[in-house]
Amino acid sequence: MSRSRQRLVDIASGSCDGEVRIWDLAHGVAKWHAKGHSGFVKGVAWSHDGEHIWTCGDDKLIKMWDRDPENESEDSEIAPLQTILGQHAFLGIDHHWKEPLVASCGVDVQIWDPQRSDPVHTLTWGSESVSCVRFNPVQIPPLPPASSTRDAVSGTDRAPHAPRRSGSSSHQQHPTGSFPVERQALNTTALLARTVRRLHSEATSKQSQPP
């Protein structure tokens, strides 16, 4: 689930059945929904201008969607504007606060330029997997991912001075430092998540009812 940085009433969500939805919280309704991925939707992020959302999933795909697609009627199928195929399943995604850059995580952390089909940077280290990645909204270069070892690692989207492990390719970079963090309860996010789950459950129930 992700809230738009430009329109606070816009919420994007992804579910375990692969469905992607954009919600209007002011009216408590879904603006549109689409079958986005095969399997779980693992991450949802808004673009910095609030005009698009990015999703990723178990199917090794990253997709970009229009906030206001031309064919958003109930009978029409919403199609993504762009699809990127990765090498591994994705566990999370985030969009840069000012620039057209996307960060994804899973086996490693990758920085994507929407104009290219290959990542511009790949960050790797010794954890089994990276479950969450976020761009730092205050300082432009660093982005802290959270790994399965409960570490938050400070990297950089351009990685100018990060050392490379011997035998790794030139585009694979290591984060510049790491520090342990504890999981914190985010009351606002939890409340929004419960609201979206309730709305999603109500919408699904209405669709399953016979006419």
Decide if pLDDT at 62 tops 70: yes
Closest CA relative to residue 92, chosen from 109, 79, 76: 109
C-alpha angle 30-197-130 in degrees, rounded to nearest 5: 105
Decide if pLDDT at 191 tops 60: no
In DSSP terms, 32 is beta-bridged to: 22
Amino acid 119: pLDDT: 94
Decide if pLDDT at 89 tops 70: yes
Which pair of structure tokens corresponds to residue 148?
Answer: 């399965």
Q: Residue 150 region, left (φ>0) first, then alpha (ψ -120 to 50), else beta?
A: left
Q: Region 15-41: what's the mean pLDDT?
A: 92
Amino acid 206: pLDDT: 66
Across the chain, what does the average pLDDT equal?
Answer: 77
**pLDDT tens across 90-130, in order?**
999 999 999 999 999 999 999 999 999 899 999 887 767 88
Q: Region 63-72: what's the mean pLDDT?
A: 85
d(CA 192, CA 211): 30
d(CA 79, CA 86): 19
**pLDDT tens across 149-176, in order?**
555 555 555 443 333 333 333 344 444 4
Higher pLDDT, residue 176 or 206? 206
Amino acid 137: pLDDT: 82
Amino acid 151: pLDDT: 55
Higher pLDDT, residue 65 or 166? 65
Name every residue whose Cβ is closer than 8 Å to that of residue 53 and which is 6 or more positions away in sequence: 2, 12, 20, 22, 44, 45, 46, 47, 64, 65, 67
**For residue 195, what pLDDT band results from cuts at 50, 70 and 90?**
low
Percent of the chain with pLDDT over 70: 63
Name every residue whose Cβ is closer than 8 Å to that of residue 196 and which is 6 or more positions away in sequence: 1, 11, 13, 23
Residue whose tokens read 């459950």: 201
